[in-house]
Amino acid sequence: MGNTDTIHIGGASALTDIGDISKFEPYNLDVSGGINLKSLVVGSNVVNASTNKIDGLGSCALLETLNVRNCTGFNGTLNLSGNGLIKNVYASGSGITNIELREGGNLTNIEYGALTTTIKIINHSTLQSFVYEDSNNNHYANVSKLHIENTPNVPVVDIINYNIANLTGGIRLVGIDIDLFEDASTEEEIEAALEKTTTFLNTLVSELARGKYINSAGVFITNSTNYPHITGKVHITSIRASLLAKINEYYPNLIVYNTIDSNGVIANNVITEYEIKYYDYDGVTLLYTDYRTGREHFIDPASFDPLDIDPITGKNRLWSICPPDGIPKKPEDEQYKYTFGSYEDGNYIRYSGWVKQYTTTNPTADDYP
């Protein structure tokens, strides 16, 4: 049970460390007199539902380590903007939703709790360890804003891959250096490396990323149609030609590369693709354009399982992009209602137990190597 009494510490202004006080479970803690305090341990591996407030942290200009682990009563924002020397912040298991850090500093280790809604770290090039509490495998589900600048070792790939739909407060990534490269030699390894790259970069150019723009002042621009501001480098094994073109268009300051020589010349292993166009029943109206690496990858829309949706991307697993109108529709007439059967096997349409020739354009051998 928490201690609601006042705990007085004589000569507090001269102390650099008051030891582990987590066992006292102080209800409200005021450290405004700790002007030389370097370490403050309020949390531990045991749940502390009592401590819900720490006043005076801004006065602790020399503070380097703060531990509020499992302080479940500590909610809202932990403001460390006045602690320019902070190196270690441990807040897993707490009720804290946002850790506000000074822009620029020597942050080394940071732990976020599962209730975190904002992850913002700017100019902390010394960061070595980033931990996000994921005891319930929620995959950053509560994170709604991601703003990282010139700070390494933040798992931005996982946060974006798992949680792009929930990042409604915006995305801003400056000076990222992501390594997706795999030393692949077998066909299986090459495919796996390509999939790893495609998953992340496809997410960045998807409609789910559009509108998540944070400007240089750190302000999320509502009702924007812009893609996020992302700069830096992504090291890859290979990339599809169509995806590289989109990245270059949407993120001109994001360098995607396989190698960069001493003169700064970029080289990529670009996979040639073949354009496949899906037409409506009239053979003229274009429904959807897809890009595939060969005939073996052609996917017939009629083979869709509409329930086979990836819970992370929200897309049908059979498609690189799931088009809303990728299946031909023929208006009914006085005699029949039409249901599309397949693009394959002579473009047939099936209805009422019959098979009738259907004029949908089929991809031909000329579309493939």
- Nearest-angstrom CA–CA distance, 283 and 359: 6
Stretch 199-226: mean pLDDT: 95
Predicted confidence at residue 357, as pLDDT, reads 33
Predicted confidence at residue 342, as pLDDT, reads 53
CB–CB of 26/50 below 8 Å? yes
Question: Regarding predicted confidence, which is higher, 368 or 279?
Answer: 279
- Nearest-angstrom CA–CA distance, 359 and 150: 55
| Parallel, antiparallel or unpaired: strands 65-67 and 118-122 | unpaired
Residues 337 and 217 occupy one common structural domain: no
pLDDT beyond 60 at 191: yes
Q: Flag whether 39 is in a domain.
A: yes
DSSP-assigned beta bridge partners for residue 191: none
Q: Flag whether 132 is in a domain.
A: yes
Of 134, 264, 271, which is closest to residue 197 (Cα–Cα)? 271
Q: Which of 227, 243, 271 is the last residue of a domain?
A: 271
- In one-letter notation, the amino acid at residue 362 is N
- Nearest-angstrom CA–CA distance, 354 and 193: 45
Q: Flag whether 163 is in a domain.
A: no
Residue-wise DSSP of 25-84:
-BSEEE-TT-TT--EEE---SS-B-S--EEE-GGG-TT--EEE-TTBTT-EEEEEETT-T
| Parallel, antiparallel or unpaired: strands 171-179 and 145-149 | parallel
- 331: tokens are 């208006």
- 296: tokens are 């073996």
DSSP letter (8 states) at residue 331? -
- Nearest-angstrom CA–CA distance, 171 and 120: 10
pLDDT beyond 60 at 32: yes
DSSP-assigned beta bridge partners for residue 316: 309
- 20: tokens are 């582990």
Confidence of residue 295 (pLDDT cuts 50, 70, 90): very low
Residues 23 and 74 occupy one common structural domain: yes
Per residue in 169-182, pLDDT (tens digit) is: 999 999 999 999 99
Predicted confidence at residue 105, as pLDDT, reads 95
Q: Alpha helices, DSSP H only, in the chain?
A: 156-163, 187-204, 241-250
- In one-letter notation, the amino acid at residue 265 is V
Residues 59 and 92 occupy one common structural domain: yes
Predicted confidence at residue 9, as pLDDT, reads 57
Confidence of residue 70 (pLDDT cuts 50, 70, 90): very high
User: How far is the CA of 325 from the CAs of 80, 246, 285, 361, in angstroms?
Assistant: 50, 22, 12, 15
Residues 7 and 94 occupy one common structural domain: yes
Residues 251 and 134 occupy one common structural domain: no
pLDDT beyond 80 at 359: no
pLDDT beyond 50 at 260: yes
Q: How many domains does the chain have?
A: 3
Half-sphere exposure of 216 (CA within 13 A, CB side): 1
Residues 187 and 303 occupy one common structural domain: no
DSSP-assigned beta bridge partners for residue 230: 173
Predicted confidence at residue 317, as pLDDT, reads 45
- 150: tokens are 């010139």
Question: Regarding predicted confidence, which is higher, 317 or 305?
Answer: 305
Predicted confidence at residue 250, as pLDDT, reads 97
Residues 28 and 102 occupy one common structural domain: yes
With tokens 């509020």, the residue in question is: 68
Q: Which of 210, 242, 271 is the last residue of a domain?
A: 271
With tokens 């991601």, the residue in question is: 146
Q: Which of 271, 292, 308 is the last residue of a domain?
A: 271
Confidence of residue 286 (pLDDT cuts 50, 70, 90): confident
Q: Flag whether 352 is in a domain.
A: yes
Residues 2 and 133 occupy one common structural domain: yes
CB–CB of 211/224 below 8 Å? yes
Residues 235 and 281 occupy one common structural domain: no
Predicted confidence at residue 8, as pLDDT, reads 52
Predicted confidence at residue 318, as pLDDT, reads 44
Predicted confidence at residue 11, as pLDDT, reads 56
Residues 295 and 183 occupy one common structural domain: no
User: Residue 292: which domain range?
Assistant: 275-369
Question: Regarding predicted confidence, which is higher, 8 or 31?
Answer: 31
Residues 5 and 132 occupy one common structural domain: yes
Q: Flag whether 167 is in a domain.
A: no
Residues 15 and 124 occupy one common structural domain: yes
Per residue in 103-159, pLDDT (tens digit) is: 999 999 999 999 999 999 999 999 999 999 986 677 899 999 999 999 999 999 999
Q: Flag whether 160 is in a domain.
A: no
| H/E element, 3 | none
Q: Flag whether 161 is in a domain.
A: no
Helix (H, G, I), strand (E, B) or coil at 254: strand
With tokens 């360098």, the residue in question is: 255
Residue-averaged pLDDT of the chain: 81
Predicted confidence at residue 177, as pLDDT, reads 97
Q: Flag whether 146 is in a domain.
A: no
Predicted confidence at residue 303, as pLDDT, reads 52
Share of the chain above pLDDT 70, in %: 75
Lowest-confidence region among 63-72, 217-226, 351-360: 351-360
∠52-57-60 over CA atoms, to 5°? 150
Predicted confidence at residue 314, as pLDDT, reads 54
- 104: tokens are 């620029």
Per residue in 321-345, pLDDT (tens digit) is: 334 455 667 777 777 776 665 554 3
